[in-house]
Amino acid sequence: MSSLALALHWVPGFNNLPIVINERITSDAIAFTLYANFDKAMAGLFLCAYFYSNLDSSKKPLKTDHKKPVSLDFKQPILIVFATVLATFTAALMLELVSFNPKVPDFWLAFIAINLLFTCVAEEALFRGLLQTKLSKIITPTRLAILAPVITAGIFALAHFAGGISYVLVSFIAGLGYGYVFYKTQRLEWAILCHWLVNVCHFFLFTYPMLSKI
């Protein structure tokens, strides 16, 4: 609960650093604000500590569609990451949420660092490391194990409802990718990397954060 309160900025005493305030990165985009949210970063650290402290190599791994232990092959997770990026932006373009708009804003370095360390780590530790892991233990039939990442993706998508229905749908598709790569590898690092690469591609290659409705 303390991590959730930190992530939702309910804990007083944090002076989060403003990086960009109500700036239109491109003329067709809605205004964008970026803060270095130290409370959310702290929540991510707490959740990661909880996740990794509960890892025990002597225990049976979480259920996947394989009966064999998870291998260290990088080909499959890389393919899942690539497919997630492709599916996410195909959907975003079809829903006219964004347009192809390559750019390099002057605060790009701050964005990629803050997005990784403050946003992706916290969100993946919460949704995949905590929620999906708990659901995987609750959903005992192996044939239904895929429901854990699907349900988590749905909750992740609903958390983005402020962006509108199109944003929720695209977030669901992206969340499926994050959850599936975690489901297949059982490594939180892959989910964080997948989430971060989607966000970085969005920032540099497409309208950010989304097209203006005006």
Summarize pLDDT for 146-174 with one digit per residue, the tens: 999 999 999 999 999 999 999 999 999 99
Q: What is the pTM of this model?
A: 0.87
pLDDT exceeds 50 at position 68: no
Per-residue H/E/C for 88-119: HHHHHHHCCCCCECCCCCCCHHHHHHHHHHHH
Summarize pLDDT for 93-152 with one digit per residue, the tens: 999 999 999 999 999 999 999 999 999 999 999 999 999 999 999 998 989 999 999 999
d(CA 47, CA 121): 9
Burial group, residue 26, by CB count within 10 angstroms (0-12, 13-18, 19+) = middle
Report the share of the chain in percent with pLDDT over 90. Answer: 71
Instruction: Check if the beta carbon of residue 16 is closer than 8 Å to that of residue 38.
Output: yes
The domains of the chain are located at 73-205
What is the structure's pLDDT at 130?
94
